């Protein structure tokens, strides 16, 4: 991360959630000040006003999709930049105040997203239990600890914090589910490219132009930039107007990406740069190779060739 490393972190709370678990994987955050926020807007506003150096908020889940409030917040207010992404497995546990047979459970506290990701498991293993909606995974653990409900679906971090006993671990319908979080700071120079980076953008297309979205995608494709994610959100201005969130392979410092950004700037109604940062991979995996003629080396070679021509050097 460029500049002075952050020491004051805010995250989507309360304590004992997957967001806190994700934040604690960042060494600087593990040793820094960590403050929970009541909402994503509150967390990001703390960074904007200088009350915190960085905020970690959920961006998307592999099962539930994007987190709309985070996307909306990224395109409103003063700019913030993603400097890091954190991807962690979403492994729910079923926990209670003491070891209890599953057949004896009558009520289970769970955040709606948690119960949605565990619906099949719950139906197969505790069909007679009523799922009671709560505001967070942490609130579910607290509810079970207080005896308000017989058990809780919660994050593993909530078990020891509330003195619970695990009745079942890795409770989920999809064992490979993950959640992606974004660490946001106030704008500053991006870190140096690593060779396996992501650049996030928010673009608004011209709605009076036929093929406007195709033109956006073409600016990326002709430069060998892989689009790993595209998501649309309504602007709220009028029906049919959207902002598109793009995650692309590459770094703003690379010549080909710089060319693409200039192209997008020319053809789009608005482009908001949301950051270039290292890709977080849970397992070792080689980056997607650029097509022949579209690598960073190819772009640098063609730029040098043009510079020689402009200088009158033809040898």
- Give pLDDT tens digits for 51-78: 999 999 999 988 778 888 899 999 988 9
For position 44, what pLDDT does the model report? 96
Query: Do 193 and 253 meet the contact criterion of CB atoms below 8 Å apart?
Result: yes
Token digits for 228?
A: 């790993």
Q: pLDDT band at residue 234, thresholds of 50, 70 and 90?
A: confident
**Which residues neighbour 117 within 8 Å (Cβ) at sequence distance 6 or greater?**
63, 64, 90, 92, 172, 173, 174, 177
Q: pLDDT band at residue 102, thresholds of 50, 70 and 90?
A: very high
Bigger pLDDT: 81 vs 315? 81
- pTM greater than 0.85 (yes/no): no
For position 42, what pLDDT does the model report? 94
**Which residues neighbour 31 within 8 Å (Cβ) at sequence distance 6 or greater?**
none
């Amino acid at each position: 991360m460029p500049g002075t490393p952050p020491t004051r972190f805010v995250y989507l709370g309360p304590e004992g959630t997957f967001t806190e678990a994700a934040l604690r994987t960042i060494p600087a955050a593990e040793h820094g000040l960590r403050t929970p926020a009541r909402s994503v807007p509150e967390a990001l506003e703390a960074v904007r006003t200088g009350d915190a150096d960085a905020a970690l908020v959920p961006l998307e889940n592999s099962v539930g999709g994007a987190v709309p409030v985070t996307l909306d917040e990224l395109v409103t207010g003063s700019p913030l930049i993603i400097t890091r992404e954190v991807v962690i497995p979403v492994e729910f546990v079923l926990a209670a105040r003491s070891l209890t047979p599953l057949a004896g459970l009558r009520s289970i506290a769970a955040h709606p997203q948690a119960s949605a990701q565990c619906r099949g498991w719950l139906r197969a293993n505790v069909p007679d239990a009523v799922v009671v909606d709560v505001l967070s995974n942490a609130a579910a653990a607290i509810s079970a600890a207080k005896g308000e409900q017989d058990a809780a679906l919660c994050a593993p971090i909530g078990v020891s914090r509330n003195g619970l006993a695990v009745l079942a671990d890795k409770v989920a319908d999809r064992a490979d589910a993950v959640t992606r979080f974004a660490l946001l700071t106030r704008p500053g120079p991006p870190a140096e490219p690593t060779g396996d980076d992501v650049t996030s953008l928010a673009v608004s297309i011209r709605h009076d132009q036929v093929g406007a979205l195709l033109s956006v995608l073409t600016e990326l494709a002709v430069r060998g930039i892989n689009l790993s994610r595209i998501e649309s959100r309504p602007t709220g201005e009028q029906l049919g107007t959207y902002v598109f969130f793009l995650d692309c392979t590459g770094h703003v410092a690379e010549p080909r990406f710089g060319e693409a950004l200039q192209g997008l700037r020319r053809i789009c109604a608005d482009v908001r740069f949301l950051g270039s940062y290292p890709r977080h991979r849970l397992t070792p995996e080689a980056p997607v190779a650029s097509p022949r003629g579209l690598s960073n080396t190819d772009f640098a070679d063609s730029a040098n060739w043009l510079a020689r021509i402009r200088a009158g050097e033809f040898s």
